[in-house]
Amino acid sequence: MAVLDDARRGAAALRRRTSAVGRRALGLDVPAADHTIAVLHVRESEVPGLDRRELVQLDRIRLLGATGAVLMAISALGIGAQPVHQNPTSGMRVLGIFARAHTGSLAMCMVGTVAVVLAWLLLGRFTVGAFSGAPLHRLTRSQLDRTLLLWIIPLSVAPPLFSNDVYSYLAQSEIAARGIDPYQEGPVAGLGIDNVLTNNVPNIWRNTPAPYGPLFLWIGRGIAEITGDNIILGVMAHRLLALAGVALIVWALPRLSVRCGVAPVSALWLGAANPLVLFHLVGGVHNEALMLGLMLAGVEFCLRAIEDMPRFDGRAYAVLIGGAITITLSSTIKFTSIIALGFVGMALAKRWGGSLRAVLRSAAMLGAIALGTTLFISAVSGLGFGWLFTLGTANAVRSWMSLPTAIGIVTGFGGVLLGLGDHTTALLSITRPIAMAVAAFFTLRMLVATGTGRLHAVGALGVALGAFVLLAPVVQPWYLLWAIVPLAAWATRPAFRVPAIVFSTIVSVILMPRGADLAVFQIIGAAVATVIVGVLFIVVTRNILPWRRERGVSAPSHEPTSYGVSS
């Protein structure tokens, strides 16, 4: 009998320890002061506008960024992702020279890229200040908006840069316009190998089905029906979509930042004026722009109902449902953004008391909205649900920025060196699922932190998306924006901003344009010229631009007069 009692006590103790470990792992019993993610956020203070000297510096920074953007736009005529057919500059005496002078065009693009990045970093002096302190003076929202617009315009009229994906969009949209299922047939099978649109698609994607959601291809089908085989008009139409997405980001980001006690211009500088946005969402014409814009707009609408309305009446429900529909629409462009609905749901459950019943009620309501919206788009568009089976199409690429992919490749290469054979594919089949499981657990922990009130929904969403980006099987440079853009509205500490700025700067500078086959000596020559020009420019402008931390540019601390309520 005593042995049985000891066994029961031991089993009870084991259950208690297991429960304690599980609650600790999920963040249910973590004290607020010990919550490591929460230290990324601190409220920002309101500060005066720029003085006369700083206004002069701001004008010079604007000119520097605009000059860089113009140089990039001109160089795109030679090394941008020009179409194989219907190239409007082909054979032209003046504009056609850039396509014949690849080294010069590449050097021009590199110099322009560095100029935009340097201008962005200098602009940071007047938005987030130095790494160790907030700015003493901060530029206004209208000043930042005009600067951003000035930098965007040249890239919005240039040929695509850094990516050929827009030509895949055109081909897949044309397949849908012909009544063929783009989730079953690639460009070669759907359009033919000699089709003008197929010839512009990169070889790796010519036989693959579309990995995008039905809303994007539904819009693309409409574009294809209007533009037909006219590649230039098709590219312009898709760039307008990208610009609409950037406009939504610019609309939503400052509103979300105020909810988190962050200066709107700080969030816009890091999240919207980021070179990755300029170069890849605008210049590269990626559909992430529309996905992120709709996702952030939907989150803002949902939080407006959850946090701002004192009574949860019919009007609050209407705003909430509209926001949930908007988030779901973003997921029918790229499915990743559906994760935002979970964080909105946990914020709603917290508003309703934070109990398990509130969580289930919130999940049921938002899940029904998401399911209904997805069914509606899939059915009305006529594209069906084949997109759910092509989401992993991009996994065929082995991306050096993906942590599990890099581990698998390095380990496989080590096996080759040891004479064990190349087991890279087998290793990737192990590292990638493990990484995704870790990302899923991290997301669950962030959901719990949102429901318990330790983290604001915007910050927790950004952290979860960051985990998915870092641990995803494939990571493209513009995927970093999935995490940087929402976190720009919440995370203010150097522990986040410094890596985000460094990654954005390095990735923006090192990527080569996709419009020409460049030899090593051409890249090296252009890089050397860019370094020389950059160093000389810094030396010449060391006293007229805020390269160094000066009195009146940034200060280590301020009185905490916050922009908004922080959680």
Contact 478, 284 (CB under 8 A): yes
| Cross-strand bridge partners of residue 554 | 135
Stretch 219-225: mean pLDDT, rounded?
92
pLDDT at position 4 over 80 = no
Residue 11's pLDDT is what? 58
More confident of the two residues 560 and 166: 166
Least trusted range by pLDDT, from 23-32, 288-297, 384-393, 437-446: 23-32
Compute CA distances 30 → 25, 40, 62, 344, 349, whole Å: 9, 16, 46, 22, 20
Where helices occur in 418-480 by DSSP H, the ranges are 424-452, 457-471
Contact 557, 133 (CB under 8 A): yes
Residue 247's pLDDT is what? 95
pLDDT tens digits, one per residue of 442-462: 889 889 888 888 888 999 999
Residue 364's pLDDT is what? 93
Question: Per the structure block, which two tokens stand in for 162?
Answer: 């850094």
Residue 402: is it exposed, middle or buried by C-beta count within 10 angstroms (0-12/13-18/19+)? buried
- Which residue in this structure is represented by tokens 């990737």? 428
pLDDT at position 101 over 90 = no
Other C-beta atoms lying within 10 Å of the C-beta of residue 445: 21
Least trusted range by pLDDT, from 147-151, 372-376, 543-547: 543-547
With a CB cutoff of 8 Å and minimum separation 6, the contacts of 526 are 103, 106, 107, 109, 110
Q: From CA 469, how far away is CA 482, in angstroms rounded?
A: 7
Residue 163 phi/psi, 5-degree rounding, is -160, 145
Q: From CA 345, how far away is CA 563, in angstroms rounded?
A: 25
* pLDDT over 90 percentage in the chain: 34
Residue 553's pLDDT is what? 47
Q: From CA 38, how far away is CA 492, in angstroms rounded?
A: 11
Q: From CA 109, how far away is CA 516, in angstroms rounded?
A: 12
- Which residue in this structure is represented by tokens 């109990």? 355
Residue 64's pLDDT is what? 93
How far is C-alpha 533 from the chain's CA centre? Answer: 30
Q: Which strand (E) or helix (H) includes residue 480?
A: none
Which of 393, 382, 395, 391 is CA-nearest to residue 215? 382
Other C-beta atoms lying within 10 Å of the C-beta of residue 523: 15
Compute CA distances 461 → 18, 295, 444, 466, whole Å: 28, 11, 11, 8
More confident of the two residues 78 and 224: 224
Where helices occur in 132-273 by DSSP H, the ranges are 141-156, 165-177, 187-191, 214-227, 231-259, 264-271
* SS3 track for 55-116: HHHHHHHHHHHHHHHHHHHHHHHHHCCCCCCCCCCCCCCCCCHHHHCHHHHHHHHHHHHHHH
Residue 554's pLDDT is what? 46
Compute CA distances 180 → 191, 239, 372, 384, whole Å: 9, 24, 25, 12
CA atoms within 13 A on the CB side of 198: 16
pLDDT at position 299 over 60 = yes
CA atoms within 13 A on the CB side of 380: 10
Stretch 214-238: mean pLDDT, rounded?
90
Confidence band (pLDDT; 50, 70, 90) for 435? confident
The domain limits of the chain are 42-159+516-546
pLDDT at position 107 over 90 = no
Residue 451's pLDDT is what? 87
pLDDT tens digits, one per residue of 328-363: 999 999 888 999 999 999 999 998 888 889 999 999
Q: From CA 509, how far away is CA 142, in angstroms rounded?
A: 28
Q: Which strand (E) or helix (H) includes residue 301?
A: helix 288-303
Residue 356 phi/psi, 5-degree rounding, is -60, -35
In single-letter form, the type of residue at position 83 comes to P
Which of 169, 178, 237, 161 is CA-nearest to residue 200? 169
Q: From CA 70, how far away is CA 43, in angstroms rounded?
A: 37
- Which residue in this structure is represented by tokens 């987030």? 128
Q: From CA 13, how far away is CA 237, in angstroms rounded?
A: 64
Residue 143's pLDDT is what? 92
pLDDT tens digits, one per residue of 256-282: 999 988 889 999 999 999 999 999 999
Where helices occur in 381-423 by DSSP H, the ranges are 403-417
In single-letter form, the type of residue at position 299 comes to V
Look at the alpha carbons of 44, 49, 51, 54 in this order and tell me if their dihedral is positive or negative.
positive
Compute CA distances 127 → 40, 44, 135, whole Å: 18, 11, 7
Residue 42 phi/psi, 5-degree rounding, is -145, 150
Stretch 392-398: mean pLDDT, rounded?
64
pLDDT at position 552 over 50 = no
Provide the mean pLDDT of the chain.
83
pLDDT tens digits, one per residue of 118-133: 999 999 888 887 765 6
Coil, helix or strand at residue 562: strand
Contact 492, 523 (CB under 8 A): no
Confidence band (pLDDT; 50, 70, 90) for 557? very low
